[in-house]
Structure 1
Amino acid sequence: MAKNKPSQGARKTETLTLRLDPKVKMMIELISRIRRQSITGVVEAAIEEIAFDLDAPFYFDGETEKWSLSSAVSEVWSTDESERFINMCFHLPSLLTYEEQRIWETIKASPFFFATEESTVATLFTVEGKGRLDRVTIRRWWSDLLGHVDEFRDSRTIVPFEPKG
């Protein structure tokens, strides 16, 4: 997942730095001239076209189906990073990176994040054998959770999260 610099907060766009073969860079520049688009517009259009045609292993209603990546992202997307992460864990679990798997396993190992009778917004999804997650609690403690996972990144086992203080 793309990260903002801490002092920048949430932004409407993200910056991406690429190393390209000079020939490919020239092609992008020429496409942008022909289409009268910015280089960013050319790259975005190309990625959206690929995403429309690319199959993603989307887990839905107890089964893994093939959805276009574009449709999968539409289902998973949220402007809230914690919500987007949870949606990805439930719908695209096979695409999680190692670091994302550590966060997900920490959440699942932490009773603190599961819905109770007092929970106001539980996930629509159930973690097998444990119940639904409390979205509000995850959102509230998201930064602390990421710090906790980073702190224990070298641990050979998952260390459940418990709030401090």
Structure 2
Amino acid sequence: MAKNKSGQGSRKTETLTLRLDPKVKMMIELISRIRRQSITGVVEAAIEEVAYDTGVPYFDDGRINNHPLGSILSDVWSTDESERFINMSYRFPTLLTYEEQRIWETIKSSAVFLRSASTSLSTDWEIEAIGALDREMIRRYWDLLLEHVEENRDSRTIIPFKPPH
């Protein structure tokens, strides 16, 4: 994921650098001229088209079914990184990288992130044998959670996160 430069805060767009075959680059430039679109617009349109043609294993109602990525992305997308992560982890568990699996397993094993009587903002879905998650606590401790997982990356077991007192 692209990172913002310090001092920029949240941005509405991200920068992506690509290495393209010169022939493909020329093709994109010609399409942009023909359609009177920017190169960015051509690339975005092509990716959206592929997204609607690409099936993704999507977890819902206790089962994994294939759905077109373009039609279900809104179930996962959020401008908040922690929210986006837990939605992706729940809905697309088979697509997680090893590092993402470690974060997800740490969340699920940490009592502070599980719904409790004081939870004001929980997930609208539950994890079998665990329950709902406390979205507000995950947001509050997101950066510290990522540091915790990184610090314990060499551990052979998941170390639950405990918030500082």
TM-score calculated relative to the size of structure 1: 0.94
Aligned residue number for residue 121 of structure 2: 121
Paired residue type of 1:156: R
**How far apart, in 1, do the equivalents of 2:85 and 2:131 lie?**
18
Q: What displacement does 1:99 show?
A: 1.4
Residue 154 of structure 2 is aligned to residue 154 of structure 1: yes
Which residue matches 1:17?
A: 17
Q: Is the 8 A contact 1:56 1:72 kept in 2?
A: no
Deviation digits for residues 25-75 of structure 1 (CA, Å, limit 9, x no counterpart): 111111111111111001000000000111111111111112110112111
Deviations along 1:78-119, one digit per CA (max 9) or x if unpaired, are 111111111111111111111111110110111111111111
Q: Percent identity?
A: 65
Q: Which amino acid aligns with 1:95?
A: L
Asked if the contact 1:48/1:70 (under 8 Å) is kept, the reply is yes
Structure 1: tracts of 5 or more residues without a match: none
Contact 1:115-1:132 at 8 Å conserved across structures: yes
Deviations 1:113-154 (A, max 9, x none): 111111111112222222211011001111111111122222
3-state SS in 2 of match to 1:84: helix
Instruction: Quote the residue 2:33 is aligned against.
Output: 33
User: In structure 2, what is the Cα distance between the partners aligned to 1:102 and 1:142?
Assistant: 14
Residue 6 of structure 1: how far off its partner (Å): 4.6
**What SS does the aligned partner of 1:122 have?**
coil
Partner of 1:47: 47
1:57–1:67 CA contact under 8 A, matched in 2? yes
Hey, what does 2:110 align to over in structure 1?
A: 110
**2:88 counterpart of 1:88:** yes
Aligned to 1:79: 79
Q: Secondary structure at the match of 1:56?
A: strand
Contact 1:106 1:158 in 2 (8 A): yes
Structure 1: 4+ residue segments shifted above 6 A: none
Alpha-carbon distance in structure 1 between the residues aligned to 2:139 and 2:44: 29
Structure 1 distance, partners of 2:6, 2:164, is: 22
Q: Which runs of 5+ in 2 are unaligned?
A: none
Query: TM-score w.r.t. structure 2 length?
Result: 0.94
Q: How does 1:56-71 map to 2 (within 5 A)?
A: 56-71=56-71
Greater fraction strand: 1
